[in-house]
Amino acid sequence: MAKKSSKKTSADDNSPILPSAAPVEHKPVDDLYSDWFLDYASYVILERAVPHIHDGLKPVQRRILHSMDELEDGRYNKVANVVGNTMKYHPHGDASIGDAMVQLGQKDLLIDTQGNWGNTLTGDNAAAPRYIEARLSKFALDVVYSPKVTEWVASYDGRNKEPVTLPVKFPLLLAQGVEGIAVGLSCRILPHNFIELCDASIAALRGEEVNLLPDFATGGIMDAKDYNGGLRGGRVRVRAKIEEGPKKNTLVITEIPFGTTTGGLMDSIVAANEKGKIKIARVDDNTAEKVEIVVQLPSGTDVEQTIQALYAFTDCEVSLSPNAVVIQDDKPRFMSVNELLKASAENTKKILGHELEILLGELNEKWHFSSLEKIFIENRIYRKIEECETWEAVIAAIWKGLKPFLGQLKREVNDDDVARLTEIKIKRISKFNSFEADNHIKELEEEIEQAEKFLKGLTKYTIRHFEELKKTYGPGRERRTVVSSFERVAAAEVIMQNETLYLNAKDGFAGTGLKREGEPVCKCSPLDDVIFFTKDGTMSVTKAGEKFFVGKNPPYIGLFKKDDQAVYSLVYRDGRQGNVMAKRFRVGGITRDKEYVLTKGTPGSTVLYLIRHETEEESNAFNAVVHLKPALYLRNLQIKFPFNSIAIKNRESQGNIITKHSVDRVVREPKAGEA
């Protein structure tokens, strides 16, 4: 008998047998993670960071407002309770919900707050959610909710229903503003004025052009000439409102730029003072309900220059870069604020039309059944069912009694209508008043007529809606930010020149840190540029610093200003034995720390004389006296050279010949009355 093999076959083993040399599939990491990254980026853009075009809300904000509507009973709710209820819809934890709710409450539009909700002026945080309370504002109840026209979707766990978007009948996105950072995309829409949004919505419905500009709760002064409709690439500059205080040498800041706080603003002022860019004695924050920052100045300080320096070196002036992007048709879309407003106005019109259609349908149903009930009771059709023994007989008796009157109704009667008639209580039949029934039907007819009229003139109806919003909620929401135009302050023009430029001519160094070994040249600031000329005929411009090389015994060193129109008069020797040349020039455009040659470039060239004139007239009046070295054939050892005999050219010009003889020195011709 053959011995059985102990080796198991594939039929004996439940696990599959792999080939001994099965190929291993390798995939690049990019292929594995690219889809995941795109999915995550799309999720963050659509579900967290960017608002929807229809209601102007991010998902967390929408869920908070929906949750508050669920809890709404006219009384305040603990914010902690609202946060807990919202977690049924928002799967990202209580902290994100609480922060988003505080931000909504601080905008003072949709949420009526109670307790310490923080201070946007000072940057103080709100109290913990268990200590503060909230309820929906009257405005929110009027314009945000309409369950019958809301599209619903299942929540993340499938247990509840939440709105896809809320039927907001107002440009909420532009009123509140929004900021969000997604993956590869950022959103920043600045807030706008409530009253102006109502007016602009009315204008858009009438087909007129609109041009919206931001308005900030913190006030300030705004230059929006580069706003660009809030699109990417635009810019808005906002300044604090600074006034001279009641006391001498004091400034008072009463309004701050959007996005800053009084604490941050004070820190920037102190930092600028420590860096020597401005000079202050003290700064105090007296902010409560309104901003009041008092800046005390040292005695003798130029107040106007200090104000300009505050704008240049502190957060008293900030630049805001908007980027209007919204979710439309499940993808981000860049739109100007004017386009967003027109879209909002049309969406409001659509929602109001949908509400009117639903209302009209409900009124027609009420009219239909009220009329049917009147026929049923007045014609005593209910008596015909008293002897009926079956449900079918009851229905048949009612149909038979109604048949002569069916022509009086606006729509056909169905079995549900007949069944509903059987539910009328005997008490209502006994107390039925024909006169009251007629009046009720007449009122319904008037309401139906009015609803139909509104539907036919839906644009006018929508305009009236915005007019009512403006009338009801507009008072107290007037523009706070002043629209103006101002140029950017040049920092170099207002910085405090509280340092001294020194020159060590012997060693060839200059700088602000050479007090012990150098001679003072002029006052300067860290932002100033210094121009200097060397003995071999080169020119350079560099930033003022503690120490930099300028060459031994430089002919001239001083401050250089952009667009400097000063005229320089130069006398130099070309090479070691060449001609003595003269030229007049302006510096013109320069590159910092680049060396410019002012001579012909011949080796051994030397500057004999150099002087700076602030104006061309001053240069024209200048004469130089050239002293020649004695020689047997020379009778006159002095040459008077009027510089107005040569034209003012650029710095590359080579100049005119004064003499071919050797020169001992060049001096300025004394003016009349000078020794």
Segment 606-635, tens digit of pLDDT: 999 999 998 888 888 888 899 998 887 888
Whether residue 493 has pLDDT greater than 90: no
Whether residue 1 has pLDDT greater than 50: no
- pLDDT at res. 2: 42
Give the other-Cβ count within 10 Å of 156's Cβ. Answer: 13
Segment 143-190, tens digit of pLDDT: 999 999 999 999 999 999 999 999 999 999 999 999 988 777 889 999
> Two tokens at 351?
């929602």
Across the beta sheet with 293-296, the strand order is 241-244, 250-255, 293-296, 282-285
Give the other-Cβ count within 10 Å of 14's Cβ. Answer: 6
Q: Return all residues near 177 (Cβ < 8 A) that are at least 6 apart.
A: 189, 190, 191, 192, 214
User: Which top CATH class is 236-320?
Assistant: alpha beta
Can 40-205 and 236-320 be said to share one CATH topology? no
CB 223 within 8 A of CB 257: no
Domain coordinates in residue numbering, the chain: 40-205, 236-320, 496-668
CA dist 236 and 318 (Å) reads: 8
Of the candidates 391, 349, 287, 41, which has an alpha carbon nearest to the alpha carbon of residue 183?
41
Residues constituting the chain: 675
Instruction: Identify any residues that bridge with 244 across adjacent strands, giving them in sequence order.
Output: 251
H or E stretch covering 220: none
Instruction: Identify any residues that bridge with 569 across adjacent strands, giving them in sequence order.
Output: 584, 611
CA dist 38 and 183 (Å) reads: 9
> Two tokens at 482?
């002043």
- pLDDT at res. 24: 64
CB 270 within 8 A of CB 315: no
pLDDT tier, 12 (very low <50, low <70, confident <90, very high otherwise): very low
Report the interhelical angle of 194-205 vs 337-378 (nearest 10°). Answer: 70
Average pLDDT value over all residues in the chain:
89
Q: What is the mean pLDDT of residues 669-675?
A: 64
227 is catalytic: no
Residue listed under structure tokens 């009257």: 138
Phi and psi torsions of 89, nearest 5°: -110, -25
CB 449 within 8 A of CB 173: no
pLDDT tier, 39 (very low <50, low <70, confident <90, very high otherwise): low
- pLDDT at res. 11: 41
Segment 55-101, tens digit of pLDDT: 999 999 999 999 999 999 999 999 999 999 999 999 888 999 999 99
CB 343 within 8 A of CB 335: yes
CA dist 193 and 477 (Å) reads: 7
CA dist 571 and 656 (Å) reads: 10
- pLDDT at res. 533: 95
* Residue type (1 letter), 189: I
More reliable by pLDDT, 83 or 432:
83
Q: What is the mean pLDDT of residues 123-132?
A: 94
Whether residue 228 has pLDDT greater than 90: yes
Q: What is the mean pLDDT of residues 186-197?
A: 95
What percentage of residues in the chain have a pLDDT greater than 90? 67
What percentage of residues in the chain have a pLDDT greater than 70? 92
User: How far is residue 353 from each of residues 149, 250, 350, 465, measured CA to CA in Å?
Assistant: 10, 58, 5, 12
pLDDT tier, 492 (very low <50, low <70, confident <90, very high otherwise): low
- pLDDT at res. 581: 93
- pLDDT at res. 115: 95
pLDDT tier, 20 (very low <50, low <70, confident <90, very high otherwise): low
Segment 253-290, tens digit of pLDDT: 999 999 999 999 999 999 998 888 888 999 999 988 89
User: Mind spelling out the 3-state secondary structure of 295-341?
Assistant: EECCCCCCHHHHHHHHHHHCCCEEEECCECEEEECCEEEECCHHHHH
Which position among 33, 40, 43, 131 bears the catalytic label? 131
Q: What is the CATH code for 496-668?
A: 2.120.10.90
Whether residue 15 has pLDDT greater than 50: no
CA dist 670 and 675 (Å) reads: 7
Whether residue 675 has pLDDT greater than 80: no
H or E stretch covering 497: none
- pLDDT at res. 501: 92
CA atoms within 13 A on the CB side of 81: 14
Segment 231-247, tens digit of pLDDT: 999 999 999 999 998 88
Topology of the domain comprising 40-205: Topoisomerase II; domain 5 (3.90.199)
Strand pairing of 509-511 and 331-334?
Answer: unpaired
pLDDT tier, 332 (very low <50, low <70, confident <90, very high otherwise): confident
- pLDDT at res. 527: 80
> Two tokens at 596?
């410019």
Segment 389-404, tens digit of pLDDT: 899 999 999 999 999 9
Long-range contacts of 517-525 (CB under 8 A, 24+ apart): 521/557, 521/558, 522/558, 522/559, 523/497, 523/498, 523/499, 524/497, 524/499, 524/500, 524/559, 525/276, 525/277, 525/492, 525/495, 525/496, 525/497, 525/498, 525/499
